[in-house]
Chains A and B, each alone.
Chain A
Amino acid sequence: MKVLVAVKEVATVEEGFELDGTTIDERYLEYDLNEWDDYAIETGVQLAEDDDDIEVVSVSIGPERAEETIRMALAKGVDRAIRVWDDTLAAAELLDVRTKAELFDAVIEAEAPDLVLTGVQAHDDSFGATGVAVAEAAGFGHAAVVNALELDADAGTAHVRRELEGGVEELTDVELPAVLTIQTGINEPRYASLRGIRMAQRKEIDVQTLADLGLDPAVVDSPIELTDMYEPESESNVELFEGDANAAAENLATVLREKGVGAE
């Protein structure tokens, strides 16, 4: 059995950032593993720990810089990694879910996984759509926003819980092969061990171009265009208490007491 885990390296934005046209100034970006994907990786690795016959393969769309993040996934127990990239992809905005669905679908066709795990969303563009679109493209079953998984490989069924709004969970059975989008909190992602980090250096990252995947460069063409980026206008009416911590706390305490907080 094979589990494919989609792993994205995303940028997080530092405090006091500046904009550079329709992007954030590179100086204020820090690159890291997408938080949701960390839980997806852990889900895959735990499945493999429970069953020796499960191979876990990660797939990423991203530049060479992303290999550091991919190595982290390998260090945590992913068996091997695929990174899809070339000059055509580097020049594209990649906001169109259809493009990503086609790329992942091509990898799925080559790898034939039984289960595909993605994060619910990526921190950077926050579309939250790729996993489910991939399922449709591949003809797989799917479940979005999964916070518990019990895999019955023999029956070909994934018993999942979907985290709905307001503290309600939906219990769903999904036929394999399937794509599950994994929610944070489903497990406790491990830290990579030193041994894992050492072993990851020897594992293979297979770089695939559009041509390798049999895709036409036109796959990146999209009618979706990012035209503006700006800091949201603050509608804030906040009254800030300034000064050192003691002075600020004293002023805040006065207001809180006026509101009846702390009254015996």
Chain B
Amino acid sequence: MSDVLAVVDHRRGQLRDVSYELISAGAALAEAMDGTLALAVISGNVEQFAATLDREGVDTIYTVDHGEEFNHDVYVQSIEALYDELTPTALLMPNSVNGLDYAPAIAERLGMPLVTDAIDLSYDEILTVTREMYGSKVETTVTVSEEPFAVTVRGSEWAKAEGNGGATIEPFEVSIDESAMRSTVTGFEEVGGGDVDITDADVLVSVGRGIEEEENIELVERLADALGATLSSSRPIVDNGWLPKNRQVGQSGKVVTPEVYIAIGISGAVQHVAGMKGSETIVAINTDPDAPIFDIADYGIIGDLFDVVPALIEEFDE
């Protein structure tokens, strides 16, 4: 028997989508390994979470009722205890911000090989993981010829599990060693409020690293004005302090779904795409024909934004 243990993700009372995707990834892996799929639900309203997570492919759901919010020390101790009890072959975790706060620690503690940010998994006597490198420019496969192993899976790559698994729900007692806790969560804060809500806009003109200098932001502002659009941006523009945080589209910023999204000088890193792929029409202007943004764009111009944007402004200012 080669079993899979998947650890679900939740935050502030809500299960995160990646939890259902982990079930799909875990169920497929368990089938390939001829084993079972167990879920670990750690902290929060574990009973309610467990009931919601009882989807097709889940055999057992272990609940660790300790505290409300995520704490990596609690997660590491709980997963270690579950591992000792269940000795799974595969440990699946989310490649979320919180996943990356405990997955490397538990893999290190248990001495397991770890492969992060999987976009596909297959198992045929050994594990093969598909993952990207060099900012999504290439895909790679890596094999892991040691068991047990640990993998974190990227969000939105697997379908969300549906149906009913008829899983057994088992409360699992872990005596958390409070003296080994080295960090305390003291609160949460929503950031990026302010004057503009980019999630409300019908048309977004979004600017990225290709704009090169702060003083060039004015050029895309003029385009947004000419189009009657709202200005947004990718992460580097906000990191540089050229636009405020409330303009940021992406995983750590806002998720937007406008009618038209015009990406200017944005390469289309996965974190950005996560925030705008639901847009109805996507337009990309970029010098790099290999830029991943063209994979999801409906219309595109391969060209220098400093030539194209002024020409476009002229079209609409006429």
Contacts and interface: CB of A to CB of B under 8 A. Distances in A.
A123 B135 contact: yes
Chain B interface residue bracket vs A:
35 or more
Interface string A213-244: 00000000011111111111011111111001
A167 B315 contact: no
A235 B295 contact: yes
Contact of B105 (A98, A132, A165, A248): A132
A259 interface: yes
A140 B107 CA distance: 16
A84 B66 CA distance: 41
Give the dominant DSSP class at B's interface. Answer: mixed
Contacts of A101: 108
A230 B260 contact: no
Interface centre among B294, B299, B310 (most CB of A within 10 A): B299
Nearest to B72: A142
Chain A interface residue bracket vs B:
35 or more
B173 interface: no
Contact of B108 (A133, A230, A245): A133
B301 A231 contact: no
Interface string B90-108: 0000011110111111111
Contacts of B308: 245, 248-249
Contact of B140 (A143, A144, A229): A229
Given A132-B101, A162-B101, A234-B295, A245 B304 contact: yes
B140 to A, nearest CB: 5
A197 interface: no
B165 interface: no
B104 A240 contact: no
A142 B308 CA distance: 46
B288 interface: yes
B298 interface: yes
Interface string A241-261: 100111011101101100111
Contacts of B108: 97-98, 101, 132-133, 136-137
A250 B184 contact: no
B113 to A, nearest CB: 5
A188 interface: yes
B294 A238 contact: yes
A225 B129 CA distance: 10
A210 to B, nearest CB: 19
A133 B107 contact: yes
Interface centre among B149, B240, B255, B290 (most CB of A within 10 A): B290
A222 B134 contact: no
Interface in B86-141: 95-98, 100-109, 111, 113-117, 128, 131-141
Given A165-B97, A167-B190, A230-B139, A16 B290 contact: yes
Give the dominant DSSP class at A's interface. Answer: mixed
Contacts of B113: 96, 98, 222-224
Nearest to B139: A232
Interface centre among B12, B108, B284 (most CB of A within 10 A): B108
A171 B252 contact: no
Nearest to B285: A252
A259 B183 contact: no
A212 interface: no
B233 to A, nearest CB: 12
Contact of A164 (B95, B98, B281): B98
A239 B134 CA distance: 26
B146 interface: yes
A195 to B, nearest CB: 25
B144 A223 contact: yes
A239 B132 contact: no
Nearest to A184: B239
22 contacts: A13-B134, A24-B138, A97-B107, A144-B100, A164-B252, A165-B97, A166-B254, A168-B190, A168-B191, A169-B191, A170-B187, A171-B187, A172-B184, A173-B183, A173-B184, A181-B100, A237-B298, A238-B294, A248-B308, A249-B314, A249-B315, A250-B315
Given A226-B142, A238-B295, 7 more contacts: A162-B101, A167-B252, A168-B191, A173-B183, A222-B113, A231-B290, A238-B294
Interface of A: 11-13, 15-17, 19, 22, 24, 95-98, 101, 120, 123-133, 135-137, 140-145, 161-175, 178, 181, 184-185, 188, 222-232, 234-241, 244-246, 248-250, 252-253, 255-256, 259-263
